Amino acid sequence: MQYRMLGTTGEKVSAIGLGCMGMSHAYGSSEERNDQESRATLEYALELGINFWDTADFYGNGANETLLSNILRSKRDQVFLATKFGFRYRDDGSWYFDGSPAYMKQAVEASLQRLKVDVIDLYYAHRIDPNVPVEEMVGAMAELVKEGKVRYLGLSEASAASIRKAHAVHPIAALQNEYSMWTREVEQDVLPVTRELGISLVAFSPLGRGMSAATAVDLSQLPKDDFRRNLPRFQEEALQQNVQLVQKLEAIARAKNCSTAQLSLAWLLARGEDIIPIPGTKRRKYLQENAAAADMQLSPAELQDINDILASTAVAGARYTEQMMKMVNH
pLDDT 10s digits, 278-329: 999 988 989 999 999 999 999 999 999 999 988 888 776 677 766 776 667 7
Average pLDDT for residues 89-113, to the nearest whole number? 92
SS3 of the chain? CCEEECCCCCCEEECCCEECHHHCCCCCCHHHCCHHHHHHHHHHHHHCCCCEEECCCCHHHHHHHHHHHHHHHHHHHHCEEEEEECEEECCCCCEEECCCHHHHHHHHHHHHHHHCCCCEEEEEECCCCCCCCHHHHHHHHHHHHHCCCEEEEEEECCCHHHHHHHHHHCCEEEEEEECCCCCCHHHCCHHHHHHHHCCEEEEECCCCCCCCCCCCCCHHHCCCCCHHHHCHHHCHHHHHHHHHHHHHHHHHHHHHCCCHHHHHHHHHHCCCCCEEECCECCCHHHHHHHHHHHHCCCCHHHHHHHHHHHHHCCCCCCCCCHHHHCCCCC
Average pLDDT for residues 50-74, to the nearest whole number? 94
Rounded to 5 degrees, what are φ and ψ at 183? -140, 105
- For 34, residues 6+ apart whose C-beta sits below 8 A from its C-beta are 282
Is residue 310 situated within a structural domain? Answer: no
pLDDT band for position 231 (cuts 50, 70, 90): confident
Distance separating alpha carbons of residues 302 and 253, to the nearest angstrom: 10
| Residue 206, pLDDT above cutoff 70 | yes
| Residue 29, pLDDT above cutoff 50 | no
pLDDT tens profile 104-145: 999 999 999 999 999 999 999 999 999 999 999 999 999 999
Number of neighbours of residue 257 by Cβ within 10 angstroms? 7
pLDDT band for position 95 (cuts 50, 70, 90): confident
* Catalytic site residue from 3, 27, 44, 59: 59
CATH code of the domain covering residue 201: 3.20.20.100
Angle between helices 236-256 and 260-269 (to 10 degrees): 80
Average pLDDT for residues 180-196, to the nearest whole number? 94
CA 34 from centre of chain:
21
pLDDT of residue 6: 98
Is residue 193 situated within a structural domain? Answer: yes
Is residue 314 situated within a structural domain? Answer: no
CB 148 within 8 A of CB 119: yes
Is residue 288 situated within a structural domain? Answer: yes
| Residue 93, pLDDT above cutoff 50 | yes
* Total structural domains within the chain: 1
pLDDT tens profile 269-282: 999 999 999 999 98
Average pLDDT of the chain to the nearest whole number: 90
- What percent of the chain has a predicted confidence (pLDDT) above 70? 90
> Model pTM?
0.90
Average pLDDT for residues 4-29, to the nearest whole number? 87
Q: Catalytic annotation on 44?
A: no
Structural domain that includes position 93: 3-211+268-296
Average pLDDT for residues 89-118, to the nearest whole number? 93
| Residue 213, pLDDT above cutoff 80 | no
Is residue 222 situated within a structural domain? Answer: no
